[in-house]
Amino acid sequence: MIARKTLETAMYEAMRMAAVEMPPDIRAALVKALAEETNPMARKHLEVSLLNADLAHRGEGLVCADTGFPLFFVKAGANTHVEGGFETIRLAAEAATERATAECFLRPTMVDPLRRSNPGNNLGPGMPKIDLQFAGAGDGLEIVAAPKGGGSEIFGAFFRMLFPSDGLAGVKKFVMECIRDSCYAGKICPPALIGVGIGGTADLCMAMAKKAAVLRPVGRHNPDPLIAGLEAELLAASRRLGIGPMGSRGINAVIAINIDAAATHTAALPVAFNAQCLVGRRWAARIAADNTFTLTGEIE
């Protein structure tokens, strides 16, 4: 059985690591982008971002100061048992978030949406956000902590209910317009990781886009050949927009376009877009039933 204390510690460590360690696939993608860019301003943006990552790795600050929204993505197996039941996951996430905020690994950015009051600990209704899914027959937990920057969420989240007759051309037009509008002037801190959801209900479509942006490693494509081809086509098109790192002139406004799809109503064609900023913060903790856990920047 997984103990509450183990959960708290693992969730805290995953969030702390996400704030100070750039995932290896993200770093490799930024190094590749740096080799491709020729515009001095584009290169400088990438160089500074990589330098920040190096400094954070040495304990001299964070990968980026805007740690944004505290998100936890949790995957449990059919035989997973948690002390106190699965409600303990929420309690552990709150404790981990409050500790990470107090220790300055998270900036206290969560406020009441209307009163704008700030409790100073990133806690409140719906926060930290926890996405729990069940998969496989295992007895452990996989937790991905993702402090998602405010800019990418504020300026990089779009939804549209297309007509079925809009078809693939309509999906492409929507995605390219979103890339242009969100990357303009560096609003989402590009080079961005773009998640696209197609199908499902409105809320499922948005959730697919968020997970595709935040959780999928750079270079991993959708197993459906049609969708994988669309990912490649849209990424190539994004490189012809003339937008580079942080909105400068260049070709790397985007380093990945990840698409997921779900069955939908015959009268509907929902499409969602969600962006993740260039530092791509996420770190995983894998907890075994014996209460040991490992931390990794490699996401399965």
What pLDDT does 144 receive? 98
Q: Is the confidence at residue 300, as pLDDT, over 90?
A: no
pLDDT (mean) for 170-196: 96
* The pLDDT of residue 120: 98
Domains of the chain (ranges; CATH) run 4-21+63-149+280-296 (3.30.360), 151-276 (no CATH)
Under DSSP, is residue 113 helix (H, G, I), strand (E, B) or coil?
Answer: coil
Say how far apart CA 276 and CA 72 lie, in whole Å. 15
pLDDT reported for residue 223: 97
* pLDDT of 76: 97
Interval 144-169: pLDDT, tens: 999 999 999 999 999 999 999 999 99
Q: What's the whole-model pTM score?
A: 0.96
Per-residue pLDDT reduced to its tens digit, 207-227? 999 999 999 999 999 999 999
Alpha helix segments (H runs only) across 37-183: 40-57, 87-102, 150-155, 167-183
The three-class DSSP label of residue 202 is helix
- Segment 241-249 shows an average pLDDT of 96
The confidence score (pLDDT) of residue 290 equals 96
142 - beta bridge partners? 75, 286
